[in-house]
Amino acid sequence: MSKKISSTEVAHIAQLTKLNLSENEYEKLSQMLSETLEYVAVLDELDTTSVNETFQVTGLKNVYREPNFPVKGLTQEEALQNAPITKDSKIGTKAVFGRE
Amino acid sequence: MNLNELTVTEALEGLIEGKFSSEEITKACLERISQKDPEIKAFITVIEEAALEEARKADEKISKLGKKAFVDSPLLGIPYACKDNFCTKGVKTTAGSKVLENFISPYESTVTALLKDAGAILLGKTNMDAFAHGSSTEESDFFVTKNPWDVSRVPGGSSGGSAAAVIADMCLFAIGSETGGSIRGPASWCGVTGLKPSYGRVSRYGLIAMASSTDSPGPITKTAQDSALILEVLAGKDPYDATTSPFPTEKYSLELQSDIQRIKIGRPKQYFELDLQPDVLKATEDFLEFLRENGATIVDIDLMDPKYSIAVYTVLQRAEVSSNLGRLDGIRYGNDRTSFGFEAKKRIMLGAYTLSAGYYEAYYSKAQKVRTLIIEDFNRAFSQVDVIVGPTMPCVALGIGESFSNPMFGEMIDVLSEPSTIAGLCGITIPVGVSSSLPVGAQIIGDRFKESQILRIANFYQQKTRFHLERPKK
pLDDT (tens digit, 9 = 90+) per residue, B89-138? Answer: 999 999 999 999 999 999 999 999 999 999 999 999 999 999 999 999 99
Residue B7 in this model has a pLDDT that exceeds 70: yes
How would you label A33-51 residue by residue, b for 16+ Cβ within 10 Å and e otherwise? Answer: bbebbebbbbbeeeebeeb
Of A10, A57, A81, the CB nearest to B424: A57
Q: How many A/B residue pairs have CB atoms within 8 Å?
A: 145
Q: Do A69 and B423 touch (CB under 8 A)?
A: no
DSSP alpha helix (H) spans, B248-356:
269-272, 278-293, 306-324, 342-355
Mean pLDDT of chain A: 91
**Chain B residue with minimum CA distance to A43:** B308
How far separated are the first and last CA of chain B, in Å rounded? 13
Per annotation, catalytic residue among B158, B188, B198, B403: B158
Of B410, B447, B429, nearest to B167 by C-alpha is B429
Mean pLDDT for B297-324 is 97
| Interface with chain A: mutation pick from B103, B320, B353, highest number of A CBs within 10 Å | B353
Residue A95 CA to residue B87 CA, distance in Å, equals: 31
**Chain A residue with minimum CA distance to B327:** A17
Of B196, B253, B235, nearest to B7 by C-alpha is B253
Looking at domain B3-469, does it have CATH number 3.90.1300.10?
yes
Chain B positions touching A53 (Cβ under 8 A) are 365, 368-369, 371-372
Of B229, B214, B139, B212, nearest to B184 by C-alpha is B214
Instruction: Confirm whether B83 is a catalytic residue.
Output: yes
Of B281, B258, B296, nearest to B385 by C-alpha is B296
Residue B143 in this model has a pLDDT that exceeds 90: yes
Which sign, positive or negative, has the C-alpha torsion B28, B31, B35, B36? positive
Burial of B212 (0-12, 13-18, 19+ CB in 10 A): middle
pLDDT band at B438 (very low <50, low <70, confident <90, very high): very high
Q: CB within 8 A of A61, min separation 6: which ones?
A: none
Residue B8 CA to residue B222 CA, distance in Å, equals: 8
Residue B104 CA to residue B209 CA, distance in Å, equals: 17
Instruction: Confirm whether B182 is a catalytic residue.
Output: yes
Residue B378 confidence (pLDDT): 98
Residue A76 confidence (pLDDT): 94
Instruction: Confirm whether B135 is a catalytic residue.
Output: no
Residue A1 in this model has a pLDDT that exceeds 60: no
Neighbours of B38 (CB within 10 A): 8
Interval B48-70: pLDDT, tens:
999 999 999 999 999 999 999 99
Mean pLDDT of chain B: 96
pLDDT band at A100 (very low <50, low <70, confident <90, very high): low
Chain A positions touching B92 (Cβ under 8 A) are none
Residue B257 confidence (pLDDT): 85
Query: Cα-flanking dihedrals φ and ψ of residue B374, to 5°?
Result: -65, -40
Per-domain residue ranges for chain B?
A: 3-469
Q: Inter-axis angle of helices A23-40 and A7-16, to 10 degrees?
A: 100
Paired with B431 in beta bridges are: B441
Q: CB within 8 A of A98, min separation 6: which ones?
A: none
Interval A35-61: pLDDT, tens:
999 999 999 999 999 999 999 999 999
Reduce the DSSP state of residue B326 to 3 states and report it.
Answer: helix
Which sign, positive or negative, has the C-alpha torsion A47, A50, A53, A57? negative
Reduce the DSSP state of residue B446 to 3 states and report it.
Answer: strand
Residue A3 confidence (pLDDT): 75
- Is the model's pTM score more than 0.90? yes
CA distance to A51, B18, B151, per residue, from B400 (Å): 42, 44, 9
Q: Please name the helix (run of DSSP H) or strand (run of DSSP E) that holds residue B104, with its range, or none.
A: none
Of B242, B308, B311, the CB nearest to A63: B242
Residue B94 CA to residue B128 CA, distance in Å, equals: 9
Neighbours of B459 (CB within 10 A): 26
DSSP string, B333-346: SS--GGG--HHHHH
pLDDT band at B307 (very low <50, low <70, confident <90, very high): very high
Interval B328-353: pLDDT, tens:
999 999 999 999 999 999 999 999 99
Q: CB within 8 A of B411, min separation 6: which ones?
A: B180, B310, B313, B314, B418
Residue B315 CA to residue A40 CA, distance in Å, equals: 7
Q: Do A82 and B408 touch (CB under 8 A)?
A: no
Percent of chain B with pLDDT over 90: 96
CA dihedral B148, B149, B152, B158 (to 10 degrees): -60
Of B104, B322, B408, the CB nearest to A36: B408
Interval A63-77: pLDDT, tens:
998 888 888 889 999
Residue A99 confidence (pLDDT): 59
CA distance to A35, A44, A99, B329, B378, per residue, from B274 (Å): 21, 21, 56, 42, 18
* Chain A nearest C-alpha distance from B360 (Å): 12
Residue B408 confidence (pLDDT): 72
Residue B127 CA to residue B422 CA, distance in Å, equals: 25
Of A1, A65, A84, the CB nearest to B330: A84
Chain A positions touching B424 (Cβ under 8 A) are 57-58
Of B419, B392, B387, nearest to B306 by C-alpha is B419
